[in-house]
Amino acid sequence: MAKGATGTEVQPEENLMGRDLVLARVGRNSLHRSWVDRGNPRNWDLYLCPFQEIPSQSDLDCIEGKVIPGPKWTGLRQLLNEWSGWREYGHIWLPDDDILASQETISAMFDAARALRFDLFAPALDESSHYAHYIGMRNERFFARRVGFVEIMVPGFSRSALEHLLPTLDLSTTGWGWGLDSLWPKLLDYRNLGIIDGTPVLHTRAVGQFRDPELGRRVNEESDAILNGHGCRQQMVTFAGIGPDLRDMQLSPDELLLELVQGWQYLSEQNPKVLRWIMAHQEPFFRWPEYLAAGCPTSPRPRQLQEMSQFR
């Protein structure tokens, strides 16, 4: 039985047991060797899909695919259409190759995704990660969250979800995949999407930097075309929090918002705008009570009154 970074024991449901797959686009500087603990067994396989020639991996328990040049999603689209072996696995994780993670963390991520019946999921990013979207960063108040957005950096899929979403890879002619992570949730009806805070991984490289301005323009235009053509947008909402017992936490909209804000305090301390973004993304999906003209009359608690009396 695997444990997440919070120490939570994740017990997979017996009827959902099965082997999982890590399928990674890798280059010479890939960190995939950190994912494997050669001294311990694991319940997932590793398939390397190189975008350039890499040193032999014969000392590593993995499958080495042929070199497919190009960006991440160009190679994955070709491989997933040509190689049917991935359909033999229960879940498939498609991480970037600059992710630092342990075998134990990856195993715990798969176990949690299976137990929570997530069809589209991702491990949260460690607090020290480079990141683009705050929703993917670890929230310290939850073991996992039910969300409306899973970034293309480290997405995982149930086999059935990947089969359903595979044709969407044809929409990314640049191979960067921007915009797909807004389309996928809509095609899954925003159900069974999750970020697993209890199994964080470290993203080690800066994001969103294009050395070629023309490529950057094309990637952004492609993303806009995907969103506009399918009537979708980034839904950075957390619908519910999940506790260490793998049960949805019974929180009112206000309580959920407070937990989110407190769990991401380390982000808002770095960038105060995060507070406004959290509120703006939660508000369309929850009803907030209006502030009454009479205000919200409140008296001190008994302990506060006792402390005040000492100064009289």
CATH number of domain containing 104: 3.90.550.10
Task: Specify the higher pLDDT residue, 303 or 298.
Answer: 298
pLDDT at 3: 42
Structure tokens at 100: 């630092």
- Residue numbers of the domain that contains 84: 13-285
Tell whether the model's pLDDT for residue 13 goes beyond 50. Answer: no
Does some domain include residue 296? no
3-state DSSP call for residue 73?
helix
What pLDDT shows up at residue 312? 62
Q: Residue 289 above 90 pLDDT? A: no
Question: Is residue 105, in this structure, part of any structural domain at all?
Answer: yes
Q: What is the mean pLDDT of residues 21-37?
A: 97
Residue 200 lies in a domain: yes
| 112 has pLDDT over 70 | yes
Residues of the chain above pLDDT 70, percent: 92
Give the pLDDT score at 291. 86
SS3 49: strand
- How much of the chain is in helix, strand and coil states, percent to nearest 5? 35, 20, 45
Q: CA angle 110-155-245, nearest 5°?
A: 40
* First-to-final CA distance of the chain: 59
Look at residue 16 in the predicted model and tell me its pLDDT.
42
Q: What is the pTM of this model?
A: 0.90
Mean pLDDT of 93-113: 98
Q: What is the pLDDT of residues 258-285, one digit of tens each?
A: 999 999 999 999 999 999 999 999 999 9
Would 177 be classed as within a structural domain?
yes
Whether the Cβ atoms of residue 235 and residue 190 lie closer than 8 Å to each other: yes
The verdict on residue 125 lying in a domain is yes
Give the number of domains in the chain. 1
**Cα torsion for 76, 23, 98, 124, to the nearest 10°?**
110
Q: Are 169 and 163 in contact (CB under 8 A)?
A: no
Residue 310 within a domain: no
- Residue 197 included in any domain: yes
